Amino acid sequence: MAVLRVGHRAGRDPRLTTHLALTARAFGAERMFLHPPDPELAERVRSVAERWGGGFEVVGADAWKPVVRDFPGPVVHLTMYGRPLRAVLPRLRLAGRLLVVVGGAKVPPDLYRVATYNVAIGTQPHSEVAALAVTLAELRGIPGRGRWPGARQRIVPSARGKRVVPARRTGGRP
Ligand code: SAM
């Protein structure tokens, strides 16, 4: 599973797009294509992934259309104007590889045409981070401990406080 973020404004959206990348990673995507590229942001996410494990990467894309055109699977554009997620979920669950596309402040009109599915998470405007999290959680569930090979640290879930311990390099229980 991959995510494409279009319309990133380097210098204006760094926190939002970083949260988008971290959400993509935490909910099981393997990479996020970022248009236009932002090497500083990609490096920040890489250093988080190094500590917390898994193979997630942010890949800069000078143009978004080739990413969509060359992707070997269905392309799901998240937009409040689309069809309800529940209507397309059965077909999406059957797809081996999926590209989930989210927009920014402005969305290129062509995206509605080239996407395999235009999909809405409710019919109200909210956020690309929320839309992505709901979609990935519905599609694949929330990854468990076994999903993070190479992690240097892991969280021990606690009722109160924070507990972080060194991780075994082979990964943990799923
Ligand atoms: N003005 C933009 C437009 O033309 O759609 C809205 C941008 S919105 C701030 C940023 C992104 O959040 C959208 O491109 C979409 O990916 C996502 N988004 C926001 N609300 C959504 C919803 N209800 N369903 C699915 N995606 C949503």
pLDDT tens digits along 121-152 = 999 999 999 999 999 999 989 988 888 999 99
Strand 164-166 relative to strand 153-155, pairing: antiparallel
Polymer length of the chain: 174
Looking at residue 143, what is its pLDDT? Answer: 87
Domain spans, the chain: 2-143, 150-174
What's domain 2-143's superfamily in CATH? SPOUT methyltransferase, trefoil knot domain (3.40.1280.10)
Q: Quick check: 171 pLDDT over 60?
A: no
Looking at residue 169, what is its pLDDT? Answer: 59
Ligand 1 in contact with 129 (CB < 6 A)? no
- Is the bond leading into 84 cis (omega within 30 degrees of zero)? no
Cα separation, 31 vs 68, in Å, equals 14
pLDDT tens digits along 85-127 = 999 999 999 999 999 999 998 899 999 999 999 999 999 999 9
Q: Quick check: 170 pLDDT over 70?
A: no
Nearest CA to ligand 1 atom 15: 79
Ligand 1 in contact with 13 (CB < 6 A)? no
Looking at residue 160, what is its pLDDT? Answer: 97
Rounded to the nearest whole angstrom, what is the distance from the C-alpha of residue 38 to the centroid of ligand 1?
21
Q: Which of 4, 9, 79, 136 to mutate to test the pocket of ligand 1 (most atoms within 8 A of CB)?
A: 79
Looking at residue 146, what is its pLDDT? Answer: 83
Under the banding of pLDDT at 50, 70 and 90, the label for residue 13 is confident
